[in-house]
A and B are shown apart, each in its own frame.
Chain A
Amino acid sequence: MSSAAPAEIQAAAEDQDSVAAILRARWRAIKSGDVGSLPVIIGIVAIGLFFNSKSDIFFSAVNFQNLIQQMAAVSVIAIGVVFVLLIGEIDLSIGFASGLAGVAVAEFQLPGSSHQYAGLVALALAILTGVVVGLIQGSVIAFIGVPSFVVTLAGLLICQGLILKILGSQGVIGIQDQQINDIANYVLSKNTGWIVAIVFTVALAAAAFGSYFSRMRAGLPTGNILLTTIRVAFFGGLAFASVYVCNQAKPRPGVPLVGLIVLFLVVLAGYVAGRTTFGRHVYAVGGNAEAARRAGINVKLIRILVFMISGAMAAMGGVILASRLNGVDLNAGGGTLLLDSISAAVIGGVSLFGGRGRVSGALFGGLIIGMIANGIDLVGYTDAIKLITTGAILLAAVTLDTVLRRRQAAAGR
Chain B
Amino acid sequence: MNATSPPTLELKAVSKSFGSVEALREVDFEVRDGEVMALVGDNGAGKSTLIKCVAGIYSIDDGQILFEGKPVTIHGPKDAARLGIEVVYQDLALCDNLDVVQNMYLGRELHDPVFRLREAPMEQRTADTLKSLSVTTIRSVRQPVATLSGGQRQSVAVARAVLWNNRVVFLDEPTAALGVAQTRQVLELVKRLAEQGIAVVLVSHNLVDVFQVATRITVLRLGRNVGVYEKDKTNEQEIVEAITFGAPAPEEAEVA
Across the interface, name the chain B residue whose C-beta is closest to A288. Answer: B95
Query: Which B residues touch A239, using CB under 8 A?
Result: none
Interface membership of A277, Cβ < 8 A: yes
B146 touches A283 (CB 8 A): no
Q: Check A218/B116 contact, CB under 8 A, given A287-B96, A296-B78, A296-B107.
A: no
A220 touches B77 (CB 8 A): no
B92 contact from A214, A221, A294, Cβ within 8 A: A294
Across the interface, name the chain B residue whose C-beta is closest to A286. Answer: B97
Interface membership of A409, Cβ < 8 A: yes
Pair count A-B, CB < 8 A: 103
- CA of A34 to CA of B140, assembled, Å: 15
Interface membership of A408, Cβ < 8 A: yes
B95 touches A218 (CB 8 A): no
- CA of A32 to CA of B139, assembled, Å: 15
B57 touches A280 (CB 8 A): no
Interface membership of A275, Cβ < 8 A: yes
B89 contact from A32, A221, A294, A356, Cβ within 8 A: A294
B97 touches A294 (CB 8 A): no
- Closest Cβ of chain B: how far from A40's Cβ, in Å? 19
Query: Which A residues touch B108, using CB under 8 A?
Result: 295-296
A293 contact from B77, B109, B121, Cβ within 8 A: B77
Within 8 A of A (CB), among B8-62: 55, 57
Q: Check A291/B97 contact, CB under 8 A, given A32-B147, A411-B147, A412-B146.
A: no
Interface membership of B244, Cβ < 8 A: no
Interface membership of B214, Cβ < 8 A: no
- Closest Cβ of chain A: how far from B94's Cβ, in Å? 6
Produce 1/0 per residue, B150-190, CB < 8 A to A: 10000000000000000000000000000000000000000
- Closest Cβ of chain A: how far from B213's Cβ, in Å? 24
Across the interface, name the chain B residue whose C-beta is closest to A211. Answer: B119
Produce 1/0 per residue, A314-325, CB < 8 A to B: 000000000000
Q: Check A219/B124 contact, CB under 8 A, given A276-B116, A287-B98.
A: yes
Across the interface, name the chain A residue whose C-beta is closest to B82. Answer: A296
B147 touches A291 (CB 8 A): no
B149 touches A412 (CB 8 A): yes
A215 contact from B81, B97, B107, B120, Cβ within 8 A: B120
Across the interface, name the chain B residue whose C-beta is closest to A354. Answer: B97
Query: Which A residues touch B55, using CB under 8 A?
Result: 294
- CA of A220 to CA of B81, assembled, Å: 28
Interface membership of A290, Cβ < 8 A: yes
A218 contact from B93, B97, B121, B140, Cβ within 8 A: B121
Query: Which B residues touch A275, using CB under 8 A?
Result: 116-117
Interface membership of A355, Cβ < 8 A: yes
A292 touches B147 (CB 8 A): no
- CA of A218 to CA of B96, assembled, Å: 27
A294 touches B109 (CB 8 A): no
Q: Check A295/B106 contact, CB under 8 A, given A220-B123, A412-B146.
A: yes
A276 touches B106 (CB 8 A): no
A interface residues with partner B (beta carbon < 8 Å):
25, 32, 34, 214-215, 217-221, 275-278, 280-281, 283-284, 286-288, 290-297, 354-356, 408-409, 411-413
Interface contacts beyond A275-B116, A277-B111, A296-B76: sample of 14 additional A-B pairs, CB < 8 Å, sorted by A: A218-B123, A220-B120, A221-B142, A278-B115, A281-B107, A286-B97, A287-B96, A297-B106, A297-B107, A355-B97, A355-B98, A408-B144, A408-B147, A413-B150
